[in-house]
Structure 1
């Protein structure tokens, strides 16, 4: 009996540790935000070598002297999280300093693939507050937890908070920079035969610009709401057109939807897909297709820790879509069902980078 109690207690302690690790996930999140706000990453980068805690404290311009003794605690948790690493100052020295890792380098402002704008958007209090109303949402008729929190949709909220709108648009553009760079290199064959393409919901045109530069023979159009594309300048083979994707959009050889469909529930997605089908079916050309850049959730894949972690990130994004806009990330079976309902003939999925895939859909 005594041994059984000990085993039960050990299992309970392991379960407790597991739950606390989940409950305190926000600590890593907010500690990273603190490091970004204080400029710690840029300070270590500019130092040019491993930086001691004493050197870091001296370099922090706005640090209250009474808080200097606690900076090591922020650094300690972020070392444990893989944002920073410790490195000996000299080969035979015992003293260590802090250096950046691959994870922190992608947050540097001068990194061409910097994702800090996307991180700032995810960390904004306006975005994090609705999570407190998730359980309430499950018990009422509101559209989203965001709508419970602010009394309107995220899209309507943008009208009186242009700063948040710009923050999220900057975040989307930073995400596009990295994904598009890999896309035009790894998936060139998906674009090479096309003479024209319209990027529906293309924002400020980060993706379309990269495609237009890589394929100068292709006529590229960025299509988004008039207030988003107003004043944006095109180029020789790139132009901007304003409109509503639920009504009509320009007809081209191919339509591109990059991380658009995950913003919508199945009903909204089906409306968009049917518009796409109508638009490309009106083109009497070989090679017409819809190109989707979005997640394909691989919920049951547990091949290794990396694959499991990528799936976890996909599921995080799925919950984010639920809380903010009533959208979702989809498994292959869910994509197939939507394509069939919109009367598309076939599709092909190509994983391109991390947790994102290229989906070519044929009329």
Structure 2
């Protein structure tokens, strides 16, 4: 049994370890970024079977002086769950690597590839505002992003095609994944809908999947003019540029996917009021967004929701919301009722009724 002094020392060391772990947590992220830039997930995937360390090294564009370091990079990535490590057998003395479900999403040609996310998140334009975070709390600047770049994110994206393109790629990737899940598991959401406005719909990825599965639906993709400029329309998809804070095109129903978390409550109520004015009396607003929950049994999901909440704070001074906060917005905008359907991922589906 530990003495009181030994117990105090143990608690102190555990506390120190906790602090170190969080100070150095960025190393997980930059190690993953390194692996993606070296194409390690694609190399292992293309090999088609468990890949030995020596085979991996031979496939990488390494300087001879850096060969010994790859083992250590793979160790942390395996610990983080991005690779599965199979240890040596008598017939195969080397460690072997396989992809996990997570690293499959990092493949260049995966239909839901998250590779564009790393290109956006690790861009200095998106990283540097974090160093303004504490200063932002002490001044009147709208957001840390604004503090660093002298303007809000939407204005910046409108002037910087590189950031705008990366952002649209990330939104398109997420829309492909979300639409695939939503249409497969929640088809009832689109049954009976004849027209739909996808507010903040980007380049129309979500709309394209919807009309492919429901050819009777006419979609309007509504976003900022620089986002929809020059996009090719189809018989079922029309692109309209404008400002959701001013007015929204009329339709039977409206969809807002990962839009409202960008905005403060006042702006959200305004957007929802514009939605109410734009939909039919028997229509609905479909909100696909995070509904915050503190699930102790799912630490990783809860942590990801907190990360998104902080990211919205940095980028827009926006926020992720708990159900009570969603209810307050919805009822303040004049809607009568709502229904929340959780999904297995980060987002929930909120059906809002006039």
Q: Same fold by TM-score, threshold 0.5 exceeded? A: yes
Partner of 1:166: 165
CA distance in 1, matches of 2:216, 2:167: 32
- Native 8 Å contact 1:82 1:101 kept in 2: yes
Displacement after TM superposition at 1:353 (Å): 3.5
- Structure 1 residue 112 displacement after superposition: 1.2
Distance (whole Å) between structure 1 residues aligned to residue 196 and residue 156 of structure 2:
31
Is 2:332 the counterpart of 1:341?
A: yes
Residue ranges of structure 2 left out of the alignment (5+ in a row):
none
**Contact 1:273–1:339 (CA<8 Å) still a contact in 2?**
yes
Contact 2:53 2:94 in 1 (8 A): no
* Structure 1 Cα separation of the partners of residues 153 and 242 of structure 2: 19
Aligned to 2:225: 226
Which deviates more, 29-38 or 69-78? 69-78
**Structure 1 moving runs of 4+ over 3 Å:** 88-94
Give the C-alpha shift of residue 82 in structure 1.
0.7
Taking the aligned partners of 2:87 and 2:71, their CA distance within structure 1 comes to 16
The one of 314, 328, 335 aligned to 1:323: 314
- Give the Cα–Cα distance (whole angstroms) in 1 for the partners of residues 352 and 56 of structure 2: 52
Instruction: Measure, in 2, the Cα distance between the counterparts of 1:162 and 1:106.
Output: 25
Alpha-carbon distance in structure 1 between the residues aligned to 2:44 and 2:333: 52
Q: Secondary structure at the match of 2:17?
A: helix
Please report how far the alpha carbon of residue 216 of structure 1 lies from its aligned counterpart in structure 2 after TM superposition: 0.7
Instruction: Give 3-state SS (helix, strand or coil) of 1:295's partner.
Output: strand
Q: Which residue in the other structure is 1:291 paired with?
A: 286
1:71 is paired with a residue of what secondary structure?
Answer: helix
Q: Secondary structure at the match of 1:202?
A: coil
Residues 1:312 and 2:311 aligned together: no
Q: Does 1:44 align with 2:44?
A: yes
Cα RMSD (Å):
1.5
Superposed displacement of residue 90, structure 1: 6.1
Which is worse superposed, 330-339 or 148-157? 148-157
Q: Is the 8 A contact 1:121 1:127 kept in 2?
A: yes
Spell out the pairing of 1:129-144 with structure 2 (5 A cutoff). Answer: 129-144=128-143
* 1:107 and 1:116 in contact (8 A); partners too: yes
Aligned length: 353
What are the within-5 Å matches in structure 2 for residues 177-196 of structure 1?
A: 177-196=176-195
Q: CA deviation at 1:136?
A: 0.8
Aligned pair in 2 of structure 1 residues 59, 92: CA closer, same or farther (>3 Å)?
closer
SS of residue in 1 equivalent to 2:51: coil
Q: How does 1:1-363 map onto structure 2 within 5 Å?
A: 3-61=3-61, 63-88=62-87, 92-280=91-279, 283-284=280-281, 286=282, 288-299=283-294, 301-302=295-296, 304=297, 307-363=298-354
Distance 2:133 2:173 in 1: 28
Q: Could you tell me which runs of 5 or more consecutive residues in structure 1 were left unpaired when the two chains were aligned.
A: none
Aligned-partner Cα distance in 2 for 1:47–1:338: 51
Asked whether the equivalents of residues 158 and 226 of structure 2 are also in contact (C-alpha less than 8 Å), the reply is no
TM-score scaled to structure 1, two decimals? 0.94
Quote the Cα distance in structure 2 between the aligned partners of 1:212 and 1:254: 14
Taking structure 2 as the reference length, what is the TM-score of the superposition?
Answer: 0.96
Q: Using the alignment, how far apart are the partners of 1:184 and 1:89 within structure 2? A: 44
